[in-house]
Structure 1
Amino acid sequence: MLFNLVILVSLFLVGIAPVSCEVDHAFIYNGFQSQNLSLDGIAEFTPDGLLLLTDSETQDQGHAFYPNPIHFKNSTNGTVVSFSTTFVFAIRSDYGILSGHGLVFVIAPQRRIQGALAYHYLGLFNSTNNGDRSNRVVGVELDTIYSEEFGDINANHVGIDINGLRSVAVETAGYFDNTGLFHNLTLISGQPMQVWVDYDGSTKQINVTVAPLHVEKPVSPLLSLKTDLSPILDQTMYVGFSSSTGSVPTYHYILGWSFKTNGKAQELSQLPNLPRLGRKGTSRFVKIGLPLLSLVLLVVATSMVVYYVRRKKYEELLEDWEREYRPQRFMYKDLYTATKGFREKELLGAGGFGKVYKGVMPITNLEIAVKKISHESRQGMKEFVSEIVIIGRLQHRNVVPLLGYCRRKGELLLVYEYMSGGSLDKYLYNKPRFTLDWSQRFRVIRGVASGLFFLHEECDHVVVHRDIKASNVLLDGELNGRLGDFGLARLYSHGTDPQSTRVVGTLGYLAPEHTRTGRSTPSSDVFSFGAFLLEVACGRRPIEPRQDDDDLILVDWVFSCWNRGNILEAVDLNVGIDFVPGEVEMVLKLGLLCSHSKPSYRPTMRQVLLFLDGVVALPELSSLGISAAGLTFDHHGGFDDFVTSYSSSINAHSRSPSVTDSFLSGGR
């Protein structure tokens, strides 16, 4: 009886004691024929049982998540339990070594990732929330694009990401064999590779290992990170993949996937095959080629005749010094084909420096914009092309990628990535069919400012754009502003003084000191940016001809509105009424400050960003001594309709302390 009583009491105590509700999760996909994942974006399953996150047709993002939430934390102490996952992936591009932006294994609070951007944001974050601790996201990225913005080490790396895309641990893709010898891997090779991600809940360490498929898991991981994931992950989270493409759409495949908490993920087997690389049909050629041999010989002979006839048509200039720029040089024949012979139907726009045509590159189908400019009057072509190539290597989300150049006879052709949104001026002038509201305009302004700050301060050289205006700001498919047209840009080393050049630019945007000395500086870019600010906010050009020959000078008109105590009178009516008056007023006043005739009174682009982001309040213009005299410029100084060009010598000018220095001492 006593024994039975003890048993009953024990059972009663067990019944009322806390019971852990944790469940170990495990799943495996040897191929994806069952199609029981949660997909969004352009992700899809192929008939062969592959998970295709992105394809080579679309510039977008794709997500695939296990449909059920995973319990990641121990309910008794709130710490993250051990977990293990392995998957096999492959990345393929139709453009050889050019690729999209890679893929990420991700642990996230929701299956649907809202507000994320494609391109270098990998479908996970955007410019606002990247790096935000509230994201509660952990990822392992397989990145095939170098993004200076995120501190990438190269265009072929593996990284551990926490709440943002600046990896907290990163290594070049590769693996260690059993002897400890390191072997490089090329993520964009198109070959299947396996990844293992293991987190030890007791030691708080993440290990990431990568190896070619069918190679046994290396003993030494590629990278390790000691970090406690407990403050980052919620009790339950979702696991899956995210991927994105940019200007080079790319196939991102997942062949198989296994996951387990509190244990080792099950090994994958019998995975589906990837599509064959290369072309088929050698035997077909043998069968049908021989009977047509005589025809082929005839075609070859005819082609040789045509080649010599057309050689002159596509003849280019190629000098010895250009051989080092071969990767950035395009063949004129390819550009001619891409733009359908530079026909008028492909014309995107024209200005004083040339015409811009839309094109689609043969074979790769890459969309481009080609600007044809005359260089017969230019001095120092070698130096000019060198600068163009250097600028072409810059990468920033608010700068239109300059892909390369081509020279032919009296023309220089600059090749840019095509921006589907077109130029900003078409949304401002000539009764546009689609107008931008204030929030869209402010985002464009903020983007251009960020791009200019990058060019002025964050590059290896100081890059002065020299032609900032609405028509040179292009919009991508998401209406993000990107600064383009670097045909007039100049660069020089940090800490040195720029040299005098011919005065070039667009009337209304030219800084007074630039027209006097011929020196292009970041401050002269700021002046142009000030005219751009007023242009976007007011929906007017810097100079508007009127019937009485008394041209409307935009900066003078905005100043007069401010002087009368009603600066918002200058705002473009097309922005509507849904805006924050204080923000619009700040932009207008900042436009006046940047337009000051004295360079020392203008802020730097670093300071401009502080104003736009609300980190520093813009002081009252009256306290800065802004007057009509300080904003007036000679708009009847003998300029032609578009370009001002003359030689001038350098005059030594001592720089007086900047007004903005006094209230922004120390910067950010």
Structure 2
Amino acid sequence: MHTTYVCLWRAGTHHRIIARVMLAIPFLRRRKRKPPVEGPRLFTFKELSKATKSFSDGAIVGSGGFGMVYKGTLSPSGAVVAVKRLKNRCGYWEKVLFAEASTVWRIRHPNLVRLQGWCDEKRQLLLVYDFMSNGSLDEWLFPCRRRNPADPKYKRFGPEFEALLPWSSRVSILAGVAAALEYLHVGWTQCVLHRDVKSSNVMLDAEMKPHLGDFGLARLTDHQKPAKTTKAAGTLSYMAPELPYTNKATKESDVYSFGILVLEVVCGKRPVNMYVEGFDEDFVLRHIVWRAHNSGDVLSAVDPTLLANVESSDERTRMKLLLHLGLWCCLPDPETRPPMKVVMQVITSQPGKNPLSTDLMPTLPSSRPKGRYPTSGMGGL
């Protein structure tokens, strides 16, 4: 650990950022009974430039407001990595990438994207991650058959990218993301609020195993002081309805986002469909599922193509169970949402093999409930 400390101080020109990351190290020394966690490796700009072929357009595998993500091959090991490159060192995105680096390197879980290291050189800030060869979950849920074959993502995945994501894979992916969130909420030294759970932040490796990533908005809180949370943030279509009023993120707001993800994965539909003409409830997935639930035919909310590929009665029962779970996670009152431990029990239960306890799942309201918040502007969301 001491070696890493010295190495980081010697390299890089922006000591202010490096000093912040080093503040994260002392907590490891206090955990005397556990072996120290190896710190992030410091890469040089030269080796990352070589790995990505001078950050060529052909190496781009993703993008965002911060900049680009490149696929790179390290020399001489041949290890394939993902390199996140900050577009320009403006205050906001620099802060976001620092937050991501200082949070994710300390937390290790099989279903979290692993940070290998970083580079702070030549006025460039870069983060280096394990490469996820199957991209993000949203790219598999919505392959967009009208995509131009010249699209880099189409080239990256090939013809199999057009295949329907199997039901068994969907369940496995949800279980993996739930395991990651449960660990973040209760399994680590502090409670980690992700604040941006969504399908595009779920990365899939070569075996289609899910890894929750993008910790730029994540915040740490003490387990004993859950009330001391942080401001609202995230993606609007996954955001809990109380956040505009409370302005505080909580474990329950993460659970809400996960509930939207469950509905998205099970139904094969986006949380908000911006291509629906007019303004009605058909453009919000949560409303569609509630309406189907109220009619007594919740499976009618599922994409017909996906439903046709799930013939087993046990698996259709599981599909109903997961839709029920998604609605439960999305209840407007945060206190009525299940903790991630219970969510895991529901997802991993198997009708006919290890069925769920009947007293675990609540009876949902007969009609879609509306939230009651301090002001009336958006209370019905």
> Normalised by the shorter chain, which TM-score bucket?
0.7 to 0.9
Among 429, 440, 458, the alignment partner of 2:187 is: 458
The one-letter amino acid paired with 1:568 is L
Among 612, 620, 624, the alignment partner of 2:347 is: 612
Report which of the two has the higher share of strand: 1
TM-score w.r.t. the length of structure 2 is: 0.75
Distance 1:558 1:567 in 2: 6
Q: 1:363 to 1:433 in 2, by over 3 A?
A: same
Fraction of identical pairs, as percent: 36
Q: 5 Å matches for 1:473-512?
A: 473-497=202-226, 499=228, 501-512=230-241
* 1:443-462, Cα deviation, whole Å (9 max, x unpaired): 11111111111111111111
Q: 5 Å matches for 1:587-598?
A: 587-598=322-333
Corresponding residue number in structure 1 for 2:117: 404
Q: Is the 8 A contact 2:12 2:119 kept in 1?
A: no
3-state SS in 2 of match to 1:629: coil
Corresponding residue number in structure 1 for 2:43: 330
Q: Is the 8 A contact 1:370 1:414 kept in 2?
A: yes
Q: Is the 8 A contact 2:103 2:218 kept in 1?
A: no
| Aligned residue-pair number | 321
Q: Is the 8 A contact 1:328 1:389 kept in 2?
A: no
Corresponding residue number in structure 1 for 2:14: 317
Give the greater-gyration-radius structure (CA). Answer: 1
3-state SS in 2 of match to 1:519: coil
Q: Is the 8 A contact 1:392 1:402 kept in 2?
A: yes
Q: Is the 8 A contact 2:21 2:102 kept in 1?
A: no
Distance 1:517 1:616 in 2: 34
* 1:357-386, Cα deviation, whole Å (9 max, x unpaired): 1111232222111223466233995x9747
Q: 1:337 Cα deviation (Å)?
A: 2.2
Q: 1:322 Cα deviation (Å)?
A: 5.5
The one-letter amino acid paired with 2:117 is G
Q: 1:318 to 1:334 in 2, by over 3 A?
A: farther
Q: 5 Å matches for 1:194-209?
A: none
1:577 aligns with 2:310: yes
Q: 1:535 to 1:366 in 2, by over 3 A?
A: same
Among 64, 88, 108, the alignment partner of 1:351 is: 64
Corresponding residue number in structure 2 for 1:372: 85
3-state SS in 1 of match to 2:211: strand
Task: Extract unaligned runs of 5+ from structure 2.
Answer: 1-10, 26-38, 146-160, 350-355
Q: 1:439 Cα deviation (Å)?
A: 0.9
Q: 1:543 to 1:323 in 2, by over 3 A?
A: closer
Q: Which has the higher contact order (CA 8 A, sep 6+)?
A: 2
Q: Is the 8 A contact 1:356 1:370 kept in 2?
A: yes
Distance 1:477 1:353 in 2: 26
Distance 1:540 1:594 in 2: 17
Q: Is the 8 A contact 2:331 2:369 kept in 1?
A: no
Report which of the two has the higher share of helix: 2
Q: 5 Å matches for 1:30-109?
A: none
Q: 5 Å matches for 1:142-541?
A: 316-319=13-16, 321=19, 324=22, 327-373=40-86, 376-378=90-92, 381=95, 385=98, 388-407=101-120, 412-429=125-142, 430-431=144-145, 432-497=161-226, 499=228, 501-541=230-270
3-state SS in 2 of match to 1:416: strand
Distance 1:486 1:412 in 2: 16
Q: 1:572 Cα deviation (Å)?
A: 2.6
Q: 1:620 Cα deviation (Å)?
A: 6.3
Question: Over the residues paired in the alignment, what is the CA RMSD in angstroms?
Answer: 3.2
3-state SS in 2 of match to 1:491: strand
* 1:617-660, Cα deviation, whole Å (9 max, x unpaired): 47666x344642337999x97xxxxxxxxxxxxxxxxxxxxxxx
Distance 2:192 2:21 in 1: 24
Task: Extract unaligned runs of 5+ from structure 1.
Answer: 1-313, 638-668
3-state SS in 2 of match to 1:340: coil
Distance 2:265 2:69 in 1: 22
Q: 1:516 to 1:318 in 2, by over 3 A?
A: same
The one-letter amino acid paired with 1:340 is K
Q: What stretches of structure 1 move > 6 A for 4+ residues in a row?
A: 631-634
Q: 1:564 Cα deviation (Å)?
A: 0.8
Corresponding residue number in structure 1 for 2:30: none
3-state SS in 2 of match to 1:365: coil
The one-letter amino acid paired with 2:323 is L
TM-score w.r.t. the length of structure 1 is: 0.44
1:554 aligns with 2:285: yes
Among 580, 586, 589, the alignment partner of 2:321 is: 586
3-state SS in 1 of match to 2:175: helix
3-state SS in 1 of match to 2:238: coil
3-state SS in 2 of match to 1:474: strand
The one-letter amino acid paired with 1:336 is S
Distance 2:321 2:21 in 1: 49
Q: Is the 8 A contact 2:221 2:229 kept in 1?
A: no
